[in-house]
Structure 1
Amino acid sequence: MQRHRYNYGSDPSQWGELFLPELPGGGTYRGVVVVIHGGYWRSQYGAELGQPLAADLAGHGMAAWNLEYRRAGNGGGWPGTFQDILAGIDKLQELASPHSLDLAKVVALGHSAGGHLAVWAAGRDRLGGLGEREHRDVGADAGGVRLTGVVSQSGVLNLAEAERLNLSNGAAANLLGGPSSEYPGRHRYADPMAALPLDVPVYAVHATEDDDVPLAMSSSYVEASQAGSIPAQLVTVPGDHFALIDPAEPAYQKCRELVRELLG
């Protein structure tokens, strides 16, 4: 397995690490998995959470891009976190040729807050209709790499409900610089629910014993998606919140299976 680290910006948190399996006889990697770590968007949690997943995916023959980004507390939050997710994904355009990456299939695997960011990024084509000012702040107009599928691992997919429930002591308001009563446009723009319906498949995987992110974060998103042409699917797995990012656990192994399915 090969590992290559690249920056996509000048900030110390704007980087990713590309994990590549060996390709016997050369050829091209069929698709890429973008791994987006969680941690309720806070700076004390970083890309080390995604490294075991990216290494496992590469060990099973898939190219994986473990993405770091600015979080609330180290230059992220609004709009930096959102800018970084799109810029980090778009960096794959530059890496495709030197590393023989086929970008026809780019699937995101995101855990917790990373699940939120993955599904949000999958809706980038719809963001322009959610708020002109917010769209300008994030700078999402530039063409880039489009995600072709997402596996969300206990993702925070209903931001309005996360705020109502005060998950992780106000994590949603902390991400967006204040509550929705002060910044309604930001909260709507950042909420994956607002971008429905999507035209890419989303598997909302949720651990049955998850005490950190309620099952309703996934189930309400899936329910709201049913009117679209490609409704999201809810998949429940055994274990707690962190079983989803432990390669030894069946909960994670189900996620790997779904990623492989989306890569085709």
Structure 2
Amino acid sequence: MVQRHRYNYGDDPSQWGELFLPGLPSGAAHRGVVVVVHGGYWRSKYGAELGEPLAADLAAHGFAAWNLEYRRVGNGGGWPFTFQDILAGIDKLQELAGHHALELAKVVALGHSAGGHLAVWAAGLDRLGQPGLAAEHRAVGANPDGVRLTGVVSQSGLLNLGDAEELNLSDGAVANLLGGPSSDFPGRYRYADPMAALPLSVPVFAVHATDDADVPLGMSVSYVEAARSGPVPAQLVMVPGDHFALIDPAAEAYVKCRELVAELLA
């Protein structure tokens, strides 16, 4: 039987997550955690209800899942607050590990759309503290002793912010997130772009739906091509369906994502 526990990681109404746990034999521990990061072009119109079916399904298949909510544009989010929340929400697992027998040697993120961007960005955090981005790194306030992701399954993620801005995806969503155009905030754009953290030392599966009309395939293709020469090249995985098939537990597209999560946790 799946258990659900809601916890706050800050004082804002959007700073919370819900932990979905499968039943365990007495004395056993949950081996790894899946952090579910919902999408919605970083806007407050969309919330953690998008990730709830995925977290419930993962728990039903034996995985501990942490469905993470965060501040978005329109309810206190945007730069740098959305980024702060993603890191703080993941770090909350350190506190929860003792309460719920979580083993944090493997923490994998499953992120859809804008959530894919945030998940892959968080996986590259340790590569972003370089001198040229020091001011942005301080603004986000990353904890050097925090929980680090050991793999990501990006579901039609916005993995190339430069191209996303140029294409004006979702009527200027990137500029909404970062407070203005890249010409005004080049440091923010570079810091927030998963491309800037390449090469990564953790695996990334860039899953993209063949009929996705919301996020162009180029978002995943350009990232995977740029990551090709790294120590752990990202992999492009094409699945059938549209943008939302990826978050439909009954769809083949989502089932493939769950299989990739299991592979990363194995």
Q: TM-score, normalised by structure 2?
A: 0.98
Counterparts of 1:200 and 1:78 in 2: how far apart (Å)?
25
SS in 2 for 1:179: coil
Does the 8 A contact of 1:106 with 1:148 survive in 2?
Answer: yes
Aligned mate of 1:186, from 164, 177, 188: 188
> What does 1:115-130 align with in structure 2 at a 5 Å threshold?
115-129=116-130, 130=132
**SS in structure 2 opposite 1:253?**
helix
Match of 2:207 among 205, 210, 219: 205
* Aligned twin of 1:231: 233
Spell out the pairing of 1:32-47 with structure 2 (5 A cutoff): 32-47=33-48
* SS of match in other structure, 1:69: coil
Q: What are the superposed Cα offsets for residues 212-241 of structure 1, whole Å, 9 maximum, x if unpaired?
A: 000000000000001101000000000000
Q: Deviation per CA, 1:7-60, whole angstroms, max 9, x where unpaired?
A: 000000000000000002330001000000000000010000000000000000
Q: Distance in 2 between matches of 1:242 and 1:143?
A: 35
| Contiguous gaps of at least 5 residues in structure 2 | none
Secondary structure (helix, strand or coil) at the match of 2:128 reads helix
Moved over 2 A (4+): none
* Cα distance in 2 for residues equivalent to 1:65 and 1:253: 18
Tell which deviates more after alignment, 135-144 or 158-167. 135-144
* Post-superposition offset of 1:127: 1.3
Q: Describe how 1:105-120 pairs up with structure 2 within 5 A.
A: 105-120=106-121
Mapping for residues 28-67 of structure 1, pairs under 5 Å:
28-67=29-68
Distance in 1 separating the partners of 2:59 and 2:84: 27
The worse-fitting range, judged by mean Cα deviation, of 135-144 and 146-155 is 135-144
Aligned to 1:10: 11
Give the corresponding residue for 1:27. 28
Report what 1:138 is aligned to. 140
SS of corresponding position for 1:247? coil
Q: Distance between the aligned counterparts of 1:188 and 1:220, measured in 2? A: 16
Cα distance, 1:113 vs. partner? 0.1
Secondary structure of residue in 1 paired with 2:100: coil
- 1:142 and 1:195 mapped to 2: Cα distance? 16
SS at match of 2:82: helix
Structure 2 Cα separation of the partners of residues 140 and 186 of structure 1: 15
Alpha-carbon separation, structure 2, partners of 1:124 and 1:242? 28
Measured against aligned partners, the alpha-carbon deviations of 1:51-102 in whole angstroms (never above 9, x if no partner) come to 0000000000000000000001111100000000000000000000110000
Query: What is the aligned partner in structure 1 of residue 85 from structure 2?
Result: 84
SS at match of 2:126: helix
Q: Which residue of 2 aligns with 1:101?
A: 102
Residue of structure 2 in register with 1:163 after alignment: 165
Corresponding position of 2:263: 261
- The alignment's C-alpha RMSD in Å is 0.7
Give the letter for the 2:168 counterpart: N
Q: For 1:33 and 1:160, how far apart are their aligned partners in 2?
A: 28
Q: Secondary structure at the match of 2:189?
A: helix
Q: Distance in 1 between matches of 2:26 and 2:44?
A: 41
State the 1:142 CA deviation: 3.3
TM-score (norm 1): 0.99
What do the CA deviations read for 1:87-145 (whole angstroms, capped 9, x no partner)? 00000000001100000000000000000000000011111115111111100143200
Partner of residue 252 from structure 1, selected from 236, 254, 257: 254
Query: Structure 1: 5+ residue runs without aligned partners?
Result: none
Which of 208, 215, 218 is the aligned partner of 1:216? 218
Q: In the aligned structure 1, how far is the partner of 2:196 from the partner of 2:26?
A: 45
Matches of 2:45 and 2:155 in 1, distance apart?
20
